[in-house]
Structure 1
Amino acid sequence: MHQSPSLQRPLVLGSTSRYRRELLERLNLPFDVAAPHVDENPLPGEAPRALALRLALAKAHAVARQHPEAVVIGSDQVADLAGEPLGKPGQHDRAVQQLRQMRGQTVVFQTALAVVCAATGFEQVDLAPVEVKFRDLSDEEIERYLRAEQPYDCAGSAKSEGLGIALLDAIHSDDPTALIGLPLIRTCRMLRAAGLVLP
């Protein structure tokens, strides 16, 4: 039995990412935001895909413990360059290093999504990989881009929704918002499976 929208469980986004918050706002559902407080360091030898899936689920569970009646979304993204995880650069020098590594390469942005509800025992996790082909960037292009956009809080040092699109040759994905950090097609599918009514 589906609940009417006014009676449905609360929805909580387990993320401090403003990008994910802005994406979730597109669905026109009321939601709260909670910081998941999860250690995001990879385990020894952990593949980027496994890391993203583990962290998305860990974030959802961490927030679900605080909000057991809510449907909780957890998500994580790891840039995967030939099996090596690239995290958020945090600062200019690391961003330069990342973009130099990625020039001319295809990078897979492993975007993982988890939806859990402690009260009902609901749990689903999925991966929305996005293949991104970087142009063969010059050092000058890298420097100009980083000074203009300062994407130091983005995995892989580039914002495709902004000026970062100019660094790319191609994007291949079946869930177009996955690269920004939250695959909305999968999010809608999982929220409906968890019992929420979407507009």
Structure 2
Amino acid sequence: MADPSEERQAAAARARENADPHENRAPIPRYVLAMVAALVAWGAFYIVTSESEQPSALGDSRTLADLQGKPKSAGGGAVDGAAVFQARCVACHQATGQGLPGVFPPLAGSEWVVGQEARLASIVLRGVTGKLTVKGTAYNGAMPAFADQLSDAEIAAVLTHVRSQWGNTAGPVTAEAVAAARTQTATMAAPFDGDAALGSPGG
């Protein structure tokens, strides 16, 4: 029969050999806690006070106006008529002002362009459809209305531009003249019906 004291000694030895591991839990130093708290406070302050509206230096820096193709003003606040033409008109009337034969009428030498400025402004504001005769050739296309897309100053600038290009020598168009045409045609619900509605270019 085994001696109980020997069994107790053997059990104690096994317990010492297979003792459960344990971690020494040392407290976090106070200076570390202070540094963490300071960093958190600084981060919160930076987020609250940073300029959220300031554009990022990375990524696409274009503005909404750039994406919409709106012409930028030249120095002094004047609108660049050439830029308006490039953004709004060149696809149909072409950079040469010759348009596309049988499809879009020319602006170069057009009696409508060099004629009465109020009539020309009204066409740009309200658009035109149906038969329109330009330099003896009939066109049956459609020109969109720009009253809701361009300001009086922008329309005046682009009309002044086309009236002085490609051999055209007509005078400038003012924003006031465009504003008057806008008021006179404000009740129009549809574009001009070509020659029938517009009459003669200089009339």
TM-score normalized by the length of structure 2? 0.20
More strand by share: 1
TM-score normalized by the length of structure 1? 0.20
The higher-RCO structure (CA 8 Å, 6+ apart) is: 1
